[in-house]
């Protein structure tokens, strides 16, 4: 990494009661990167983000965020961080304009009126500025929330599942905006459940049970997961899909249009199965390099809900 | 670092932003707004008129086994006192007891046979009055008035040759002066006390709920993710409710003066000082509750927990001096106790600032204690 790290933290730990929600977590995020947090519910994504922006006090850990000490200087970090919460957290009983104005005052921004006007225009909400925020639809609430946390032109954006419950078009627009910000030098850390969002990220950290299991540039993730993938084409894929799921070495069957991607981590077992089926001659088989999609499907499938904790170890470890 | 309140970095801009936001939200929340203004008026009218510690026109039944000028004079005197309302005759002691038990009457009066003759013969017969004392405050006043009524009746009836008999009564009379409340009106006592109760209720509850609402709706997470300081949030959220307290008190004073004709004898300054201090104490208490409650429902319940002592131990319902020492000790820690005294002293007894320094001091001590605990408990984080 050539750019200086915006977030450089080691050993981050947080315990609620007897539950270690974040366990000895290390994270380094270079400037201008889009860094994705993947993991099942309850894996510690939200807790980690809250510790990064000073909402929670870590039990252990050290490091810097935007060059400020995370333990001693949370106030300075807050000045330059835009945090978008998982749940809509602006005031539903204030109007759109009143909300933006309130946030602008919280950051003591100069030229407040112009900035709020500009934000309203960018949003396309200038003519609805007097409408109560609580009456907006999910997609508009999300855009308003993003606009509110960009008002003070933060250097670091922390987005906690920003597109949950938002339609695909709005989600695409949202990511265009994130890409644009990233290109302008804003560092973005985003937690998500969605594969199509994960592929947008430059770096990925996969978390389960508060531990970071996989971390690195997106391109290296399939390799880290260690998947072998075969591509199958031919007639009656549905029947084949059912049959494949019973075969040794097959850990995942994913359908992409008219093809199936069959993946597994045990190359020998998978190749043996494929060789046997290939001999039947009904379908066309090609070995291919596992992509991000397969890797994410594999990761997300292997991770059950972390609230229902029954084993002490991570699922995909 | 994350907890407590620091003066450093206080921004007037952020503070006023919180303040403006609170006012806007208060204006939009019609129900709360109506409660803040309507509640004091309704409570004042309801309790001011309804609560009467010296009730009159209590239903009374009589068993007259004798009938004569003296008997009739006694009954007429009782009727005229306004305490007793004769409903009719009752047949015998057993029937009278049944009536009392059912609660159809508060009193049963039995004039024994040959009552008049026995009085004249100097045998000192008894008039039996059975009172339903299950609610002492309901019948206490009437019972106390009874001795005087009978004495007057005897004096007026036994004239001429029988006058010497009247002299068998004690040769003195009890002369009660009702100071500060010459008519003995309960509303004169209740209404100033109600201000303490109304302010305790609305101020504590509204503040507690207003802050917990931010946590419950998730807006607290956004709020504390900004550089806002705890003191800015605390002051910005509390001040609008000080304003509400002013409105409530103004409404109250007007209603008390016009509807109940409660006098305002003392120094407005003493009142002003006392009620400002009291409002701030209640707001601090509400803030403290909000640091402990996780939901608006919990905040309400905890607020009610503080309201009962304000009603029962402050001297509002029962005379403070009549409580056992340990209860007085507890009552001393209740802010309403001191404010109640200030209001009664100032409004009814004409007290000035110098007369209420003790109470003001006590409120000050309570304020400091509550504020310190609240500050220690308040967290700028979600931990």
Write phi, then psi, for A236 (nearest 5 degrees). 45, 60
pLDDT value of residue B382: 63
The 8-class DSSP code of residue B160 comes to G
- Between CA A31 and CA A155 the distance in angstroms is 9
Structure-block tokens of residue A196 = 């199509």
Interface list for A 77-96 with B (CB within 8 A): 78-79, 81, 83, 85, 87-94
User: Which residues of chain A have a CB within 8 Å of the CB of B381?
Assistant: 54-57
pLDDT value of residue B364: 95
Write down which residue in B166, B193, B225 finishes a domain: B166
Of the candidates A150, A50, A71, the one whose C-alpha atom is nearest the C-alpha of residue A103 is A150
Task: Count structural domains, chain B.
Answer: 2
Interface list for A 147-176 with B (CB within 8 A): 148
Write down which residue in B166, B197, B220 finishes a domain: B166
pLDDT value of residue A312: 41
Write down which residue in B166, B200, B229 finishes a domain: B166
Of A55, A81, A108, the CB nearest to B381: A55
For residue A151, pLDDT beyond 90? yes
Are residues B248 and B337 part of one domain?
yes
C-beta separation of B302 from B293 below 8 A: yes
pLDDT value of residue B3: 40
- Between CA A125 and CA A18 the distance in angstroms is 46
- Between CA A160 and CA A31 the distance in angstroms is 19
Say whether B25 and A94 touch across the interface (CB within 8 A): yes
C-beta separation of A291 from A299 below 8 A: no
Judge whether B297 lies within some domain: yes
Are residues B338 and B262 part of one domain?
yes
Location of structure tokens 């003759």: B117
Q: Strand, coil or helix: what is B89?
A: strand
For residue B175, pLDDT beyond 80? no
- Total residues belonging to chain A: 317
Say whether A57 and B11 touch across the interface (CB within 8 A): no
Are residues B62 and B46 part of one domain?
no
Containing structural domain, residue B88: 58-166
pLDDT value of residue B38: 82
pLDDT value of residue A302: 67
Are residues B219 and B155 part of one domain?
no
Of the candidates A144, A156, A159, A192, the one whose C-alpha atom is nearest the C-alpha of residue A40 is A192
Of A50, A74, A88, the CB nearest to B2: A74
C-beta separation of B244 from B320 below 8 A: no
CA B61 to chain centre: 32
For residue A222, pLDDT beyond 70? yes
User: Which residues of chain A have a CB within 8 Å of the CB of B17?
Assistant: 101-102, 105-106
Judge whether B383 lies within some domain: no
Of A85, A102, A106, the CB nearest to B218: A85
Q: Strand, coil or helix: what is B84?
A: strand
C-beta separation of A88 from A141 below 8 A: yes
Residue B136, beta-bridge partner list: none
How confident is the model over A170-175, as a mean pLDDT?
88
* Whole-complex ipTM: 0.79
Among A141-155, B16-30, B155-169, B282-296, the range scoring the smallest mean pLDDT is: B155-169
Q: Mutate which of B3, B219, B223 to disrupt the A interface (most A C-beta within 10 Å)?
A: B219
Are residues B234 and B88 part of one domain?
no
pLDDT value of residue B174: 44
- Between CA B163 and CA B145 the distance in angstroms is 23
Q: For chain A, which domains are there? A: 5-220 (3.40.50.300), 228-289 (3.30.70.100)
Among A68-72, A99-103, A262-266, B109-113, the range scoring the smallest mean pLDDT is: B109-113
Are residues B236 and B214 part of one domain?
yes
Write the CATH number for B139. Answer: 3.40.1710.10
For residue A91, pLDDT beyond 80? yes
The 8-class DSSP code of residue B379 comes to B
């Amino acid at each position: 990494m050539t750019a200086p790290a915006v977030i450089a933290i080691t050993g981050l730990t947080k315990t609620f009661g007897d539950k270690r929600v974040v366990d000895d977590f290390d994270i380094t995020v270079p400037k201008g990167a889009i860094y994705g947090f993947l993991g099942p519910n309850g894996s510690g994504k939200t807790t980690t983000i809250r510790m990064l922006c000073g909402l929670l006090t870590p039990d252990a850990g050290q490091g810097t965020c935007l060059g400020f000490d995370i333990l001693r200087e949370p106030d300075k970090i807050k000045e330059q961080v835009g945090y978008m919460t998982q749940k809509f957290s602006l005031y539903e009983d204030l109007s759109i304009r009143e909300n933006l104005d309130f946030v602008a005052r919280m950051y003591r921004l100069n030229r407040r009126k112009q900035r709020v006007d500009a934000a309203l225009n960018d949003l396309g909400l200038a003519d609805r500025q007097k409408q109560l925020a609580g009456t907006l639809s999910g997609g508009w609430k999300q855009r308003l929330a993003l606009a509110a946390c960009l008002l003070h032109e933060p250097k670091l954006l922390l987005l906690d599942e920003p597109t949950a419950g938002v339609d695909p078009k709005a989600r695409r627009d949202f990511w265009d905006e994130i890409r644009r910000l990233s290109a302008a030098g804003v560092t973005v850390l985003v937690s998500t459940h969605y594969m199509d969002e994960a592929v947008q990220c430059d770096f990925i950290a996969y978390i389960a049970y508060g531990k970071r299991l996989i971390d690195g540039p997106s391109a290296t993730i399939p390799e880290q997961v260690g998947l072998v993938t075969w591509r199958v084409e031919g007639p009656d894929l549905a029947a084949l899909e059912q049959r494949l799921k019973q075969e040794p070495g097959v850990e995942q069957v994913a359908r992409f249009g008219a093809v199936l991607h069959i993946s597994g981590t045990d190359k020998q077992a998978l190749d043996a199965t494929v060789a046997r089926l290939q001999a039947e001659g009904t379908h066309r088989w090609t070995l291919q390099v596992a992509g991000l999609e397969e890797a994410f499907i594999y990761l997300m499938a292997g991770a059950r809900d972390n609230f229902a904790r029954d084993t002490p170890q991570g699922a995909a470890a | 670092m994350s907890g407590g309140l620091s003066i450093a970095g206080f921004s007037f801009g952020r503070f006023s932003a919180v303040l403006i936001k609170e006012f806007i939200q208060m204006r939009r929340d019609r129900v709360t707004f109506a409660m803040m203004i309507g509640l004091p008026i309704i409570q004042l009218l309801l309790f001011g008129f309804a609560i009467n510690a010296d009730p009159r026109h209590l239903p009374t039944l009589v068993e007259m086994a004798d009938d004569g000028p003296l008997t009739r004079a006694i009954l007429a005197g009782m009727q005229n006192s306004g305490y007793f309302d004769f409903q009719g005759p009752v047949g015998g002691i057993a029937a009278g007891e049944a009536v009392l038990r059912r609660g159809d009457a508060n009193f049963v009066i039995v004039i024994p046979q040959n009552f008049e003759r026995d009085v004249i013969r100097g045998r000192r017969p008894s008039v039996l009055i059975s009172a339903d004392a299950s609610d002492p405050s309901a019948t206490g006043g009437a019972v106390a008035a009874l001795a005087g009524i009978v004495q007057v009746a005897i004096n007026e009836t036994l004239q001429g040759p029988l006058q010497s008999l009247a002299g068998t009564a004690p040769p003195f009379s009890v002369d009660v002066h009702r100071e500060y409340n010459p008519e003995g009106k309960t509303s004169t006592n209740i209404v100033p006390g109600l201000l303490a109760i109304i302010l305790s209720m609305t101020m504590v509850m509204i503040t507690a709920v207003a802050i917990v609402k931010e946590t419950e709706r998730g807006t607290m997470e956004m709020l504390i993710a900004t550089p806002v300081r705890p003191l800015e949030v605390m002051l910005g959220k509390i001040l609008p409710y000080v304003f509400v307290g002013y409105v409530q008190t103004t409404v109250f004073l007007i209603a008390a003066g016009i509807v109940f004709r409660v006098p305002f004898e003392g120094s407005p300054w003493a009142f002003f000082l006392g009620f400002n201090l009291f409002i701030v104490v209640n707001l601090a208490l509400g803030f403290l509750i909000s640091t402990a409650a996780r939901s608006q429902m919990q905040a309400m319940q905890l607020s009610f927990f503080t309201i009962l002592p304000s009603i029962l131990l402050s001297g509002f319902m029962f005379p403070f001096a009549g409580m056992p020492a340990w209860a007085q000790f507890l009552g001393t820690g209740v802010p309403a106790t001191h404010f109640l005294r200030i209001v009664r002293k100032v409004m009814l007894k004409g007290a000035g600032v110098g007369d209420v320094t003790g109470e003001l001091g006590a409120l000050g001590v309570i304020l400091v204690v509550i504020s310190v605990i609240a500050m220690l408990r308040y967290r700028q984080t979600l931990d």
